[in-house]
Chains A and B, each alone.
Chain A
């Protein structure tokens, strides 16, 4: 009898025993992670499709000759810095320092806007040189198509991330915020940065 009671208590105290999150986190954060995982798979699909197209293509333009690598590197620096500012915003929010949280959120947003501006400029420059979804001057139609779809999808994520961050920042400035909402917005922003790390390496450098 004692053994079964002890066993029961062991089960109830375990991760899946009920009364607490088995993943050790609240539902909002966990759901954001689930969303990030699904979105990561979408980007993985795009990048693998790009890798496949490139592997079966007889040739592929040399990216360092086609792209303005100074601009692309600056964009990468900018997004990483924005991510660092976001991490500091989360730290400030967790410490209850709303003023610092708003300051770092504002820095994060500025970084994101600069990134989007650079991306728009890059697209303008590309389109001006004759790149379209179905053809481009570099001889491989899939090159420009991959560029526009992958960077466009990523850019849209940056834009939606900026929208979320702006809402969180405004609410934080009004005193209506929780550390959790700042942290969850931060998770999404870091995910956007992680995707860019992959795009930078596989599309622009490899």
Chain B
């Protein structure tokens, strides 16, 4: 069995973990404040929340999960779900109200449509 190239040391100290923890808590408070600002335009709110989320997962991934010390090919692999999720999100976006301001696509979620009855008349 081959050994990990970084078996010899994980140089992250408890102090660095504590600093990271502080930053994560600050970012959580920031996200919470954004969540409460209802007057903010949706697009800006979404962008800020996505930004804070990405910053948090970058911190957790690089410091707590030690990706900072891993080989780049493993790091790229771990970010593949983000890329695939983004692709799926943009693929489905075309069917939503975000891209359909006149609401021609699904507008009767959970309600029964009476189109068939009209055709039968």
Contacts and interface: CB of A to CB of B under 8 A. Distances in A.
B65 A84 contact: no
Interface in B16-37: 17-18, 20-21, 24-25, 28, 31-32, 34-36
Contacts of A27: 1
Given A24-B4, A190-B60, A48 B88 contact: yes
Nearest to B69: A24
Contact of A56 (B17, B32, B71, B105): B105
A181 B64 CA distance: 16
Interface in A59-118: 62-64, 69, 73, 76-77, 80-81, 83-84, 86-88, 90-91, 94
A64 B17 contact: no
Contacts, number: 160
Interface residues of B, number: 62
| B interface secondary structure, majority | helix
A183 to B, nearest CB: 8
A174 interface: no
A58 interface: yes
Interface of A: 15, 19-27, 29-30, 33, 36-37, 40-41, 44-45, 47-48, 51-53, 55-58, 62-64, 69, 73, 76-77, 80-81, 83-84, 86-88, 90-91, 94, 140-142, 183, 186-187, 190-191, 193-194, 197-198, 200-202, 204-206
Given A37-B81, A206-B35, 13 more contacts: A23-B73, A24-B74, A26-B3, A47-B85, A48-B88, A48-B89, A84-B64, A86-B64, A88-B14, A191-B65, A193-B60, A197-B60, A204-B35
